Structure 1
Amino acid sequence: MSLSDHTNTLLRWEEAAERAGVIAGQLAQLNNELIALTAEVLDTFTWAENGIQSPEHWLSVMCATSPARARDIVAIARRRGEFPVLEEKMAAGTVSLDQMTVVARNVPASYSDAVSVFVEHATVQQLRRALPKYGFEEPPDEYATPRPGPSGDEGPTLQMGTLGGRFQLRYEADALEGALVEQALREAKDALFTAGHAEATFADAILEVASRSLSSVESGSRRQHYKVLVHLEADGKGWINKQGALPAHLVERITCDGSIRPVWLKNASPVSVGRSMRIVPDRTRKLVEDRDGGCRYPGCPVTRFLENHHKRHWSKGGSTDIDELISLCTHHHREHHRGEFTIEGNPNRPDGLIFKARYGWEIEPHIPDPVPPPRHDPPDQQPVRGWTMDSTLYLRPNKTPAPTDEY
């Protein structure tokens, strides 16, 4: 290589490195704005509309992010204000989203001052190696007063009932029995996550445990005895024994994809009971699920435990064939029948369905055309990263200010 070629290569390297630094700084600044927006959305529960399952799901839909990236952003946003110095550096463009993610997932707020000194000089790999293994200790609170609590010797208690159309459940137990219940719920929640329900909650886990228990009953007569039966009338009204009438959206949902058993009445008394039959035949269900590959709601990762939804309900003349059926997860099937969003279009095309919020706008990323440029100037220079820290890291917790008597 001649001297001129070497010089040109060096110049191209320097130019590319300079441009990369500018872009890195602008990305950090824009990600800081996105984190601030996410923190606002969390505080105001703005995300909880129109079938959105979680703040992470909201980001996946509105920003076209991956579920993993959305989880990182939400993890930082939930701790907004705990690392003020690092937040200022991220706003200035010298601390990246990935660096902040490692801190937010591993560092207690009481060590915010210490980590703020070196994070911008460390690579993401260094932070991932050092911070998860560091033995952070929360400093004792000299001024905290112990609060009295229950003795823990009482036996388990459970209360349940229906109030205002909502089932309510309250359970209390000692620590050992509570740990057993908690582990059972965690296992069920993890099973739902593994099956594709990435945003499964412990409330979903209770339903999973209940479904497993009823599904495992071997005695046919016993299984029939403990089925949940919803009574329907020709005009669409429905009710559950001893629990009163059901809202219309629940009746529509359960009759959209379930089993029905006709009962013939004479003078308001049952005289004959037919055989149970599925509203959507198994063969049709298989074709629909193979076509859709999972829940069709935008950004939903669920691929198992799906329900078949009728675009036009069969009780209103809709047909039960593949052109009229859509795969939805339990959550989005429920939210649709609650009126949180509508579905239009042709389900046989990958892009054929349009999901609209209750107010009429489409549920999809709303990216302006053209996209405006970043509003901030990038940092003059990116910090040099790669500080030696893996074997010499020593962090002190923040100093806790003594309480004052001022009110």
Structure 2
Amino acid sequence: MNDIKIGLVGLGTVGSSVLKMVTENQDKVQNITGRQLSVKTVVVRNVKKHQDAVSSDIQLTTDLNAIINDPEIKIVVEVMGGVHPAKEVITQLLNAKKHVVTANKDLIASAGEELAALARQNHCDLMYEASVAGGIPILRTIVTSFAADHITEVKGIVNGTTNYILTQMQRQNWSYDQSLQKAQELGFAESDPTNDVEGIDAAYKMIILTQFSYGTHIKLEDMAVEGISTIQLEDVAQADAFGYTIKLLGVSRRIDGGVFAEVGPVLVPKDHPLATINNENNAVMVTGEAVGETLFYGPGAGGLPTANSVLSDIVSVTKNIALGTTGNSFNNFRDELGKVDPAQVIYPYYLSLKMLDVPGQMLKLTQIMTQIGASFSQIVQTKNDDQSARVVIITHEMSKAQLHDLKAQLNDVETISLLSAYKVL
């Protein structure tokens, strides 16, 4: 009764780190939980590839049934990644009455509610602390430490790849392509970096953070998601001159009876805590009515940091098994909040425009800004090599509805092009 066997599905960077941490921290975990943990079976695609990575007392197999049909295995860690077949695998495991720990953000963001309901139905635990911000214990902190507070905003840098790239663009004056290539060389970026650099990975994490913070599930299609692949060095330098640094931020806010969430490049003041988060690190800032602003900082990815969060979940499940309290949702908070009117989402904006360098163009822009009820705070104009000028503006606060109107009206002006529009924190 004091021994709990664990199954692993996947033995990549995170899986091998989980195996290492479970093995090396057995004594501490037993001291905390009163139970001895050990990995019994590991399911992989290619047994030969991983034979040297596991000890002889661990079964290495390609057959998931070796875990499903083993009554000794109580907890299974899924670290294979991707939505499919991970969803089908976890569904089988929960139906087999296995408690599941996963680091799979894509799956939890898209099918988390369905899997959580299945876990409750089978009186199993489904834990996924490692799905957001790697080694930062942000989800459990929101569930426990903010249980009595009213969270009004959660925002942060939740993708290490994009943060590394933007850091290099600012510090080294490298182009986006140069910075991405270096990130790939160092293993911070995949060979196909689309999910990271286009903001999709960050959006999945914001969906999970929104669910935990406000009890409301939002869908990817409900969010505005913009990545960093079109950011120009000129914008990085101009933001710096204005006193800002550009970061890819996920922002989720409670506004009246609704929730607004999006991902995109944001100009962050240099004296703001998020401006100091560099390279592959992550940070999440949670704002509560009682506690005010709190910042959680740490490595956003990597084998051991992520495995640490996985082991934290394993310990929680082990405690629940010992106490007979399994089957409760990781996050029980539920609240029905609607969408937010774009007129209620207010920020200053950084606008970069290219316009024909002839008289009257600034007048056209000023007239459009006047028509939508917006105004300028700062303006810088530089001449390009051709017959055009680059105009960069920071506006006073304006709504997303006004920004939409501005874009629509500029589309009808042949001599002015809007190159970028980023929120200013």
TM-score interval for Structure 1 and Structure 2 normalised by the shorter chain: under 0.3
More strand per residue: 1 or 2? Answer: 2
With CA pairs under 8 Å and 6+ residues apart, which has the higher RCO, 1 or 2?
Answer: 1
Normalising by structure 2, we get a TM-score of: 0.18
